[in-house]
Structure 1
Amino acid sequence: MASSPHQHISPEAVETVAGLTAGLASTIIVHPLDIIKTRMQLDTSAHPLRNSTQSVLRDILQNEGPTRIAALYRGLTPNLLGNSLGWALYFLWYKQGQDLVRYTRGYSLDQQLTSIDYIAASAGAGGLSALLTNPIWVIKTRMISTSSAIEGAYPSMISGMTSIWRTEGFRGFFHGLLPALFGVSHGALYFFAYENIKVWQRARNGEQKLSNTDTIIASALSKVFAGTTTYPTQVIRSRLQRYDPGVKVISKGPGIVALTRDLWRNEGILGFYKGLGPNLARVVPSTCVTFLVYENTKWMLPRLLNESRAELKSTL
């Protein structure tokens, strides 16, 4: 009997490798926009246009880092680790979440999941991923929000971990976890839109394998929808994770309720959307790259491994 191309590698391994590869590729491409977005989120002035994308970028290029490239890629290590690990875990648990939904609800293997099913699988995967990667995001936020030239700024990810453990203890690694868990709704909304757009595209095209153009359209539309809807949770999380290198004694900052109230009172509704422009400019192409790499890796990996085994057997 002929062997299936998926016989020698588990679906979970395919999802994990595809997610890991996708996270690495997308993070490297758009990291500078992540720095700009975070700097704008942490701006507490009542004038959201004062720190525009152009002014933040100009300040980074003129005043930070030993070189412009170093300035634009400060904090890349935790960003790479967080995104690659986060995507790998997310896709792994998202696939397992769908399998669990199928088993729990008694679906057949070829039965289409409902929108609620996709939301449940995505929310579960997102919650677990957010919990495990939150320490990495705390360090990343603190590194990309401060110039390496400032005294007390973290020079590396390891030094950041050491400093947090020494000055804030275990709890210091989980600043901003609650809004990050609220932000899980972002992934749920994204996959709700993404999976439904893919179903519509397959029905329109009459093909199971979508083209790269279809993947780009589905991922871009889904990201704009989910990113705009849930963006305020990112602003709140960044402010909870902020770090002032000049402060020698770390004191407990305001809680979520107080921070949200002050943000609304002092900066208005626009304060919750600071950095949205560079964020969409960052996450939309990033997501398109992520899902292009993910979908193509997921499709190609079992076939490449199967071909390699077939060639090996033919030489024996």
Structure 2
Amino acid sequence: MPQDVHSKRDVFDATYAGSITRPLLPPLRSDSRTKRNPPRSLRDYQGSETEHERKARLRALWLSLPQNVTDHNPKVDTQEGHSAAYQPLTKERAQRLRDLYESELARECNGHQWLFQGAVVDWEGFLKYAESKEEELWKVFHNDLDLDGNGMLDATELQHALTSAGIELDSKTLADFMAFLTSSTHSRPISFPEFRDFLLLLPRTPSVSEIFQYYEVCKYLGDDGRGSARVNMEGDVSLSAEDRPPAKHHGRIAQGPIESGTGSEASPPISRDMEPTDGQISVSDVIGEGEEEEEEHETWLGGSMALKFLFAGGVAGAVSRTCTAPFDRLKIYLITRKVDNVGSWMIPTRSHGVTVIANAMRGIYLESGLLGFWIGNGLNVVKIFPESAIKFLSYEASKRMFARYWDHVDDSRDISGISRFMAGGIGGITSQLAIYPIETVKTQLQSTSGGQIRTMLAPTMRRMWADGGVRAYYRGLAAGLIGVFPYSAIDMSTFEALKLAYIKASGKEEPGVLALLAFGSVSGSVGATSVYPINLVRTRLQASGSSGHPQRYTGVWDVAQKTYAEEGWRGFYRGLAPTLAKVIPAVSISYVVYEHTKRRLGV
């Protein structure tokens, strides 16, 4: 048993990682159900794959390589990372190593010739390289790592190899390492195909330290570190544009195994300007016509895999918002009703504040019954998918623009923090502009008093059109757009501060999932509280003219003046309590549903 196993939690983590053989967990669906004797030689193993399948797999991998490789000085730069001792990784070093891997791989495939700008990896050279590398990886896997000879690399064997190389990992980090190599959601023994597919593009001798360094480079450059849960200004959880499959465009290191066969999920994007030369396999030998058409949109949407992630995020958002809809309805009720009716929640005595909330809930129930707490939820759910898609597309387009014209980098994931912040702001503004009319109609519905719930939508939309035409659907837009950038700045800075403080206090390299969820909840809540007065002004402009909020305003400044004159500074925070109260359940529900939906979709 590893030395760092002390508590029951440590025992669980070690068992989950495979360090302890005691089977505490039942087999998972992703585990292999068949028990086969491992092949005794590489030739025996290769016999299980047809020549067509092998070339299809290798060609898919070849097509994922960068088109234009800038060579580095082979006498100087290639010494980077060749030290026998493990060296901690930084972002700059990870990017430098990735570039070196690409140029070294190109030299290996092109016969160690000096590469000029614009050179590509030769197909025939890549086939020879893959043949040699597979034989090298077979020897390392079976002679150096697989100590019991069962054809699987378990946690104990991997831990022993890492320790011998001077790399000490705790059980959780070891489990993450194994899960990454198997492209699985959990840690399990590593098979040779998984080991080979992950390391086939590593142009260096696969020592244990080189393997771990290669894993760190792939992981370091493939995640923004924030996880999947993002709290917006409304206290809702939205899909992170970063949480999607790693970019498969040219120029990135492959970050997972490529399965044998010709399925679309195994085929990277096809470049239209990379046509096969004479004597090479045509693209139609690898992928079908339908898959070629799908790849045309790979640059922007990331293919069907990214659409699955967007769908999973939409389902999670729909379930989360439906479950927390009463909080949203209560917030709008508190913002739009007169102080004389419900009072202000932000008052000196706690008991009075609770009474205000209780009176507001009673008022909603008396007006519309139990279903009154879900008024407007249908529109809130409907807008999720277009909002997520538009934000995703505009965010990606902005990142590419900043990468090309501002940061001058080839990969949009390598842009600076300022560029990423600006791209996020542009994505938020674009999505706000697109779905704002739906948001306004939803607010009008929620601020309407009485009436039949099922017959409220059409009359409300007709009344708004008669009241101001198209402009009526965009009331408060300026206030909504103003709040995007300060919210993003406060949210990001708070999250990074919490993350750094946690890392310093715990001594861990990266926070776990629960820690990231907690940091996201806190940073989102701080950001939402900071810009809440702007949010309140926008909501009152959207609700103006409704039966529950008949007041009329001339603009943002008019709302601010009247709010301060009637309610003081506390009036700008009416409804904040239910907004903050729904953050934790919204994040928790979204995360659980999101992960479950991803598993059901196979992503």
Which of 457, 461, 474 is the aligned partner of 1:174?
Answer: 474
Which of 485, 493, 502 is the aligned partner of 1:185?
Answer: 485
Determine the C-alpha separation between the residues in 2 that align with 1:44 and 1:115.
43
**Bigger radius of gyration, 1 or 2?**
2
Residue identity opposite 1:222 in structure 2: S
Whether contact under 8 Å (1:165, 1:172) holds in the other structure is yes
CA pair 57-225 structure 1, distance change in 2 beyond 3 A: same
Is residue 2:382 matched to residue 1:81? Answer: yes
Is residue 2:516 matched to residue 1:215? Answer: yes
CA pair 100-192 structure 1, distance change in 2 beyond 3 A: farther
Is residue 2:435 matched to residue 1:133? Answer: yes
Whether contact under 8 Å (1:186, 1:227) holds in the other structure is no
Q: What's the CA shift string for 1:152-182, capped at 9, x where partnerless? A: x883434432332233211111111111111
Match runs of 1:232-243 below 5 Å: 232-243=533-544
Determine the C-alpha separation between the residues in 2 that align with 1:88 and 1:21.
13
Determine the C-alpha separation between the residues in 1 that align with 2:388 and 2:320.
11
Query: How far is 1:20 from its partner?
Result: 2.3
CA pair 285-91 structure 1, distance change in 2 beyond 3 A: farther
Is residue 2:445 matched to residue 1:143? Answer: yes
Is residue 2:394 matched to residue 1:98? Answer: no
Corresponding residue number in structure 1 for 2:558: 258
Query: How far is 1:300 from its partner?
Result: 5.5
**Stretch of structure 1 that moved more, 8-17 or 260-269:** 8-17
Corresponding residue number in structure 1 for 2:575: 275
Identity %: 21
Corresponding residue number in structure 1 for 2:317: 23
Q: Which runs of 5+ in 1 are unaligned?
A: 306-316
Is residue 2:362 matched to residue 1:64? Answer: no
Whether contact under 8 Å (1:223, 1:287) holds in the other structure is no
Determine the C-alpha separation between the residues in 1 that align with 2:518 and 2:526.
12
Match runs of 1:48-63 below 5 Å: 48-49=344-345, 52-61=356-365, 63=366
Whether contact under 8 Å (1:231, 1:276) holds in the other structure is yes
Match runs of 1:279-294 below 5 Å: 279-290=579-590
Determine the C-alpha separation between the residues in 1 that align with 2:597 and 2:488.
21
Determine the C-alpha separation between the residues in 1 that align with 2:494 and 2:393.
17
Residue identity opposite 1:160 in structure 2: T
Is residue 2:531 matched to residue 1:230? Answer: yes
TM-score (norm 1): 0.77
Q: Which runs of 5+ in 2 are unaligned?
A: 1-57, 62-257, 260-264, 270-297, 346-351
TM-score (norm 2): 0.43
Whether contact under 8 Å (1:86, 1:129) holds in the other structure is yes
CA pair 238-73 structure 1, distance change in 2 beyond 3 A: same
CA pair 146-197 structure 1, distance change in 2 beyond 3 A: same
Query: How far is 1:266 from its partner?
Result: 2.3
Equivalent residue pairs, number: 294
Corresponding residue number in structure 2 for 1:43: 337
CA pair 34-255 structure 1, distance change in 2 beyond 3 A: same
Query: How far is 1:44 from its partner?
Result: 4.1
